[in-house]
Amino acid sequence: MSIDWSADLVGWAATAVLMATLIRQIRTQWTADSVEGVSAWLFAGQMLASVLFIVYSALVSNPVFVVTNALILLTAVVGQVLAVVKRRRQAREDGSA
């Protein structure tokens, strides 16, 4: 079995991005005074990691992981959209109070 190091580098890059995002989120939640301390970097990092994992999965010809990571990407996009909507709604409520 031969190893394609260029493909592995994409996979490791995705892992690094995901771990950096999760570690930043844990730090943000740890230091936040409230549960509203969700970092804006969470979904951005998750989306980038998912795209890199999709590329990696395609490079190693693994359709299961391509589909799985595409679905994870979709959840990150939905999460980002919901976060933006929630922040805008909160800003409107704060402005009218």
* Domain segments of the chain as ranges: 5-96
What's the rounded mean pLDDT across residues 38-67? 87
What's the rounded mean pLDDT across residues 34-44? 69
Residues 6+ apart with CB under 8 A from 9: none
Residue 35 above 60 pLDDT? no
Task: Write the CA distances from 45 to 35, 40, 58, 82, integer angstroms.
Answer: 20, 9, 20, 16
Tell me how far apart the alpha carbons of residues 85 and 90 are, in angstroms, rounded to a whole number: 9
Specify the 3-state DSSP secondary structure of 81. helix
**23 C-beta neighbours (distance < 10 Å), count:** 11
Tell me how far apart the alpha carbons of residues 61 and 1 are, in angstroms, rounded to a whole number: 14
What's the rounded mean pLDDT across residues 66-88? 83
Q: What is the pLDDT of residue 52?
A: 95
Residue 78 above 90 pLDDT? no
Tell me how far apart the alpha carbons of residues 18 and 22 are, in angstroms, rounded to a whole number: 6
What's the rounded mean pLDDT across residues 17-30? 76
pLDDT tier for residue 94 given thresholds of 50, 70 and 90: confident
